[in-house]
A and B are shown apart, each in its own frame.
Chain A
Amino acid sequence: MLNNLLKWLTNSAFSAMIIFAFCTPTASLAQSSFSADFCFDRPSSPCIVPVRPDRFKSIILEFIDIEQSTIGHTLGRLVWREVRELTTDIRGTVVVLAHNQSNFGTVSTRNPLLSPELDGTYPAEFITSEMLRSKGHIAANLIGQQSTAEIVIWGNALSVGEAVLMQPNMTLPSISSNKVWTSVRLSGEEFEMEVPLPSERLNFPESTISRTELFERKFMVRCNRASNCPDGIELKAAPSITSKVISRIDRGVQVSVSDAVNQWLFVETGDISGYLNIYHVELTPANLVFLEALVTGRSAPNLNSDVVFSQTVSGIYPVSQIAKDADNLENEHIIKNWYEINVLDNKFWVQGTRDNYGPAMPASLFVAALYRFQDGQYLQAANLIQRYLLAEASTDPKVLASAHRFAALSNYLGRKQGTALEDDYVEKSLEHANRSLEHLPFDPAGYAILGAILTSEGNFDDGIQSVRDALDLNEFDPYIIEFIEVYCPAISKVGLTPELCTA
């Protein structure tokens, strides 16, 4: 048996296949004379074009679909919808879905990222996915830079049989300069500084759930078109835009979903079943996430029903039923809908808000926090970060350190926006900054950010020492070099010239 296997393994065709698979991540592209490196060598004529450069945006790329099961496309759509639902009220922002233009002929619109020069030559996903496959965050950084996106979301996805594995990643590209993502102004009584924030490359924890678990929930059909869809939404016989229409479903109708192929949800309503575009459902949450929130539960899905629960709650609670709010039938987003949950053996209805939305992908909360952060909604950003930490039991020190760093900055920058005493926010900020150091004790960026906050607070000795610690940890770090170039002129304005600025 072993000998037969050996022969089988060593026959030329099979050997070639192995080498093909092992040595060339872009193997499938090699047949088309395309290499992902192609896009890395084109600074003057990049593969990726700027997309809405006037807006703050995230690019949601299809997840790398290792088993080529279409789950990568579906997850990209899901995250895109979740991030949009969490941020749709923020003006001047967009969420861009970079989907596969030629994915089984199911999409008619083109991928917005792709250079027109390449459009039609290669499928868009062909390029971006292969870039990610071979270069990971380095590719995401390039895609972010060339598309002018502040956030790039991508990931790895596997689906075999019933099981689905998701592993999302977030790249905050180096936009302004080497290893610097963006900057924020920290203003204390004496000290003021435009603090550079490091670019980030975060690998969120992976989770394995069943396909049924991922999609099995109630959704409501929506239109979200100016036409109001008077004839209802098309239900297709197969997961393809060219497939036969077997029925039409009115907006507002609840459907049960059990699976998905690309962007097509397999839905059942009454005796009818078929495929509905994910765009045409209200992306109701799988669960609600409360962070020390006063929850008011009602006996029925309307504000006139009895209050049966009123308590401060922290936790994640699965949604068992959904209902439209009678006064907000036209609202097709997540807010105002009613959700039935069970808290401490009390089943009741709660009205949905962005503050309790529980996405299927917890990382969406982190992304949403960055939207609030850039919009100056610092305390909302801090709340989203906290909810992210509650929803995802991450043990990755980089993810945790980054989350606490943003929470530190959000609390500090939001210290004058909240209802509590300013000192409380400063205390929270320092607490988060120190938590960040606990998770990544050798990361110079954490010490630099802490140093900036302490200096801004007028604690010059500790602030300077923290920046000194950052430099001592890694004198080669380009982010720290840039940070000190900004820090030193700022600290000199208060009459101080620390040794680290003169060396």
Chain B
Amino acid sequence: MITKNLGIALLISAFASTSANAELEAFSTVLVDRSDSMQTLACGFSHDSLITANLGLDQLELLILAKAPSNVQKMVDDIAERFQSFERIGKVEVYLTTADVAVAFEFEGNPYIAYNADKIDRLQSEFGDVAINAIFAHELAHVYLGHWHATSPRSVKELQADFLAGSVLQGLNVSKPHSRIAYDEFADENETDAYPSRDTRLGSLIAGWEKSCQFDPTCNPNAEAKQSQLDAARGNIIVDPIDVFPTNQSARYSSHMENMVDAIGIRVGTYLSSTGLQELDSSIANIGFFPLQLGSGVFRSSPSTVFARGKEIDAIGIVMGDAQVDSGANQISLSSTFFVQGDHGGLLSHRQDITEIVPSQSVAPSIVAQEYLGEEWFKMAVLSQISRNLRVARDSANPSELQNAKALLLTFRSGLGSNDPALIPIERFLAEIESYNAE
């Protein structure tokens, strides 16, 4: 590997300069000084030991691979704007590095962030942009707090950065569940020399989020569902009214969108009643829609954020949609995510996106919903509920409950074609029941 030592980073106050940062060269190695107190001038998101692997006591080495893609730089810029008085810090350039996860550091008096593209890209593809916001918010918090000059213990600095990151994430309308995704993925479960335990860090993160919410008039308390709502939503298909109803045409299409939801409901009812399952099991008979605001951190463009929220509240499905007008054409979108939960070798999910351009003046979202929602959608609702029943049966170790679940699965299977993807989880559930019976 080609490396080029750019020289020793200088220890200059982070708040001293607002000039343009020096640009780092690709495939260069940056050596970052440690402070007098032997605190590193770089703060990684986690696994600090990997950052300092080959270094002496007073320096750490970062291999810079390339400038970050412009979209990532923009994301960091957007987050940075949320920090008060950020103009005093100046622009934080973002680079790719081989270091673990991400690191904020100072070089020639300017703040930088470098991140591991493999890890961040994986997180992004799995959970969406909303998940990586937390990582950059945390690194920017180190920058904003001037942590490489502070003398407090490293673990305290991390908790401070977590708290501030939580506050900033709330300001970005990232929900609590989505704020924590990166921590769940990368933070050490147990305390290390540099970091508190994951739970402690999460506590600090959420405390920052809630503190910010208190002072934010736009932080809608309804965005975080109350327990009674969550209880009612459990086992239902959630319709998020924020997204279902149009956001930029106010009431113009609202009646159509209501009808769309009505149409979906009738469609689900028609399908369910054709399976015969409703007569076998009251829980399936009661599958219905429940309106619940999921919080603005649930982005329809990020499947995993929807999935994470659905998992958290034990919903069986989430439907979101919107209608918007763009240059004379009415664009109607609808997306759905369903969850098959339980200890069945992991979580299964199904997602369907629908985007339809219809001529102006004839918006018919209900028709779009009817026409494009395949039966896979409804099958996932059924599977999701059976999965829940099975979980309850297993936990209660009740043979008749298991028998009921088996009858449901066999009846459901009888209406499926030979290549139906729903057969895979059904066979898995049936095998699971056999294994319980064997026990």
Question: Which A residues have a C-beta under 8 Å from some C-beta of B?
Answer: 1-3, 5-6, 8-10, 15, 17-19, 21-23, 25, 64, 66-67, 133-139, 156, 158, 160-163, 165, 167, 169, 179, 201-203, 206, 208, 396-398, 438-445, 473-477
Contact = CB atoms under 8 A, between A and B. Distances in A.
Given A203-B270, A440-B415, A9 B247 contact: no
A161 B364 contact: yes
Contacts, number: 153
A474 B414 contact: yes
B427 to A, nearest CB: 10
A281 B211 CA distance: 72
Interface of B: 218, 220, 222, 239, 241-242, 245, 247-248, 250, 256, 258-259, 261-263, 265-267, 269-276, 278-279, 288-291, 293, 296, 361-364, 366-367, 370-371, 375, 406-407, 410-411, 413-418, 420, 423
The residue in A18, A158, A201 that gathers the most chain B C-beta atoms within 10 A of its C-beta is A158
Contacts of B271: 203
A477 B370 contact: no
A9 B242 contact: yes
A156 B247 contact: no
A203 B270 CA distance: 8
Contacts of A18: 241, 258, 291
Contacts of B410: 442, 473-477
A138 B273 contact: yes
Nearest to A160: B364
The residue in B222, B239, B270, B420 that gathers the most chain A C-beta atoms within 10 A of its C-beta is B270
A136 B275 CA distance: 11
Contacts of A1: 247-248
Contacts of A160: 256, 362-364, 366-367
Q: Which A-B residue pairs are the 5 nearest by beta carbons? A: A136-B273, A161-B362, A397-B417, A160-B364, A137-B273
The residue in A139, A167, A444 that gathers the most chain B C-beta atoms within 10 A of its C-beta is A167
Given A9-B245, A66-B266, A473 B414 contact: yes
A165 B250 contact: no
Nearest to A397: B417
A17 B259 CA distance: 12
B303 to A, nearest CB: 22
Given A9-B245, A135-B269, A165 B370 contact: yes
A441 B415 CA distance: 9
Contacts of B367: 158, 160, 163, 165, 208
Contacts of A201: 273-276
B400 to A, nearest CB: 12
Contacts of B414: 440, 442-445, 473-474, 477
Given A442-B416, A474-B410, A137 B362 contact: no
B290 A133 contact: no
Contacts of B375: 396
B416 A440 contact: yes
Given A156-B370, A202-B274, A442 B413 contact: yes
Given A22-B291, A135-B269, A203 B274 contact: yes
A5 to B, nearest CB: 6
B30 to A, nearest CB: 41
A165 B278 contact: no
A135 B273 contact: yes
Contacts of A169: 270, 274
